[in-house]
Structure formats: structure tokens, C-alpha cells
């Protein structure tokens, strides 16, 4: 049985208008809107999520 998602926001978050990430699931990264937690979530493979993070860092996002 998979672990319950451990949702967290970035330490840079200054408001509740953000996304939450759960990275404690085996083989997936979950992302959801903090303003609409019941509205669904996106699922990423770890390699895709890491590529997104690297691209974001390079472009100052």
C-alpha cells in the first residue's frame, strides 16, 4: 500500500497561492493547487520532475 502523500509547499512561499508537492510516493511526484486541494493533481515521473526543476532554476522561475 502506498504511503499517504506528504504535501508541502516551498520554503519561499509567502502566501497560499502556490502549488504543493508530495515526493514521498514510490516512483511518482504529485503536484496540486494549494487553493483547490480537492481539484485533482498532476503526476510526474521523478526524472521528468527533476528536469523541470533544473529548467526552472536555469530560467529563474
The answer to whether 17 and 10 are in contact (CB under 8 A) is no
CA 8 to the chain's CA centroid: 8
| Higher per-residue confidence, 30 vs 60 | 30
More confident residue, 55 or 2: 55
The model's pTM is: 0.81
The pLDDT tens digits for 31-52 are 999 889 999 999 999 999 999 9
* Amino acid 49: pLDDT: 94
What's the chain's average pLDDT? 88
CA–CA separation, 61 vs 59, rounded Å?
Answer: 6
Q: Considering only residues 53 and 15, tell me which one the structure prediction assigns the higher pLDDT.
A: 53
Give the integer Cα–Cα distance in Å for 10 and 2. Answer: 23
Amino acid at each position: 500500500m502506498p504511503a499517504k502523500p506528504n504535501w508541502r509547499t516551498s520554503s519561499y512561499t509567502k502566501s497560499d497561492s502556490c502549488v504543493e508537492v508530495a515526493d514521498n510516493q514510490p516512483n511518482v511526484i504529485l503536484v496540486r493547487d494549494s487553493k483547490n486541494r480537492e481539484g485533482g493533481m498532476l503526476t510526474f515521473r521523478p526524472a521528468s520532475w527533476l528536469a523541470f526543476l533544473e529548467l526552472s532554476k536555469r530560467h529563474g522561475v
